[in-house]
Structure 1
Amino acid sequence: MVYPSSMVEGYERDIINSTHAGFGVRLVAFLVDGIVIGSLKAILLRPLAKLLGWDLSSYVGAPLFSIENIASSLIFFLYFVLMTWFFRATLGKMLMGLKVVSTDDKPLTFLQVVTREWLGRYISGFLGHLLYLVILFNPHKQGIHDMLSDTVVIYERQERLRDRLMAPVMKQNSTL
């Protein structure tokens, strides 16, 4: 959330507006999530296929629709949707001290989470994940998936500091 400069002054404004996580830290979190997802696939997919007698390379219509690709996609999207819905962060984000919040400071809705983590990640992942670079150029450090769902990724520790700094300002504004 970005607060107008008229509400706070000087260093407090810098602290309040610096809660947004940038590209680098989000990339590290995404790489950690990639390791987690790869591990989940190794733990779940191969043993399950062996148990059920599936040939993971078999497909319907085109090789793109192989059992392995479909199951891998489900694991990928379910991981992001469920982790964000229940914890507001994936394991990678937790490790980096980040979380996903709504831009209007209200609790995340399930529709926001699905839009961000399913539709938004699908679009952002198009063209070899190049669309994630939007985060570098957006003043609020939002990717396409964030903009579609009205969310932002923030540093959890700085959010607590921001809330403490904003409490007197918000209290003063409510009495006016």
Structure 2
Amino acid sequence: MNDQAPDLQPAPNSPQVDNSASLGQRFAAFMLDGVFMVISMMFLMQYLGMTEFDPNKAQDAQAMQSEILAKVAALSNGQKVLLALFPYISFLVLHGYLLSRYGQTIGKRIMGIAIVTMDNRVPPFFQLIVQRYLIQWLAGRVPMVGGILRLVDILAIFRADKRCIHDHLAGTKVIDLRIPVTQGKPTSIIV
């Protein structure tokens, strides 16, 4: 792996190449990131004592739901706040360094793709977190329509430019680092 931040500026007068990451690459990166988030949540649930359940209730969905709600209700206020904020904290702990340095989450790093500005530079970290991620997180929390907003955001990826709404809001795109920005002389790419 090359530790250079991507600076994929095309040489003057070079023809531009579509280096957009494929839908499959983006989906695989999303799924990998989801696995890492689930693993981190499992550690928190274990810490909070929320992983042990009555085996007799495991067959009954309503009984399991009641038991989970009872365990959440029994948490202290501080633990409830930790439970609510943990996904966001975990995201920043897992992906913060890679996002700030390379414009990548762990999944994007594995898949060889990166988030860049429209001129192929790593976006400033604050811009990336606020305009790309925070907006998604807040939209998802809007009562009754949050899920629809997130779905519309994600489905925008099927347009010709392969950019979700959060990409447009942040002025970013996701590129395949194996595809040079221009035809001809290769540029510096991290993989």
TM-score normalized by the length of structure 1: 0.65
Letter in 1 for 2:177: E
Query: Does residue 143 of structure 1 match 2:164?
Result: yes
Letter in 2 for 1:84: L
The answer to whether the 8 Å contact 2:94/2:106 transfers is no
**Cross-structure match for 1:30:** 30
Stretches of structure 1 lacking an aligned partner (at least 5 in a row): 168-176
The answer to whether the 8 Å contact 2:102/2:122 transfers is no
Identify the match of residue 121 of structure 1 among 136, 148, 155: 136
SS where residue 165 of structure 1 aligns?
A: coil
Superposed CA RMSD? 3.1
Letter in 1 for 2:109: M
Runs of 4+ aligned structure 1 residues displaced above 6 Å come to: none
Equivalent residues, number: 145
Structure 1's 35 and 135: CA in aligned 2 closer, same or farther, altered over 3 A? same
Of structures 1 and 2, the one scoring higher in RCO (CA 8 A, sep 6+) is: 2
Deviations 1:47-105 (A, max 9, x none): 5436xxxx755376xxxx65423223332355444431133211111221111111123
The answer to whether the 8 Å contact 2:14/2:183 transfers is no
TM-aligned CA deviation for residue 142 of structure 1:
1.0
Q: What are the equivalent positions in structure 2 for 1:6-155 lying under 5 Å apart?
A: 8=15, 16-17=17-18, 19-43=19-43, 45-49=44-48, 57=73, 58=75, 67-76=82-91, 78-122=93-137, 125=140, 126-127=146-147, 129-130=150-151, 131-137=153-159, 139-155=160-176
**Cross-structure match for 1:165:** 184
Stretches of structure 2 lacking an aligned partner (at least 5 in a row): 1-7, 50-70, 141-145, 187-191
SS where residue 105 of structure 1 aligns?
A: coil
TM-aligned CA deviation for residue 26 of structure 1:
0.8
Percent identical pairs in the alignment equals 22
TM-score normalized by the length of structure 2: 0.61
